[in-house]
């Protein structure tokens, strides 16, 4: 996939998620012709979008997983800022010591 196709695909997925709807991986595949949905979602997450994967139970009792765009917590933003500034992801204890003032 060329660069322009990749950017276009991520933009289309992001606009669909920004509409407020939830989508399963199969729905995104069918709607946009994506082969590797998880890769596109990972790229959007790396770009700073809070995309969550939630499990839902259908009316028939089946469990499905859907992607949705959400709002990151203050703690998530502080962790991301820490990693960007320091260039590594610290151990949980180190991070919690440094971010003890942040409440999720």
Q: What is the pTM (predicted TM-score) of this model?
A: 0.67
Fold of 3-69: Arc Repressor Mutant, subunit A (1.10.10)
- Over residues 62-104, the pLDDT tens digits come to 999 999 999 887 877 777 777 777 776 655 556 566 556 554 4
- Within 8 A by CB and 6+ apart from 63, the residues are 55, 56, 57
pLDDT digits (tens, 9 = 90+) for 16-42: 999 999 999 999 999 988 888 999 998
Question: Where along the chain do its domains lie?
Answer: 3-69, 72-104
């Amino acid at each position: 996939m060329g660069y322009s196709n990749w950017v276009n695909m991520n933009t289309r997925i992001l606009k669909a998620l920004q509409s407020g709807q939830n989508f399963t991986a199969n729905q995104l595949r069918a709607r946009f012709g994506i082969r590797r949905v998880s890769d596109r979602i990972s790229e959007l997450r790396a770009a700073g979008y809070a995309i969550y994967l939630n499990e839902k139970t259908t009316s028939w009792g089946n469990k499905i997983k859907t992607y949705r765009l959400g709002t990151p917590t203050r703690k998530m933003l502080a962790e991301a800022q820490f990693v960007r500034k320091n260039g590594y992801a610290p151990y949980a204890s180190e991070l919690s010591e440094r971010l003890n003032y942040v409440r999720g």
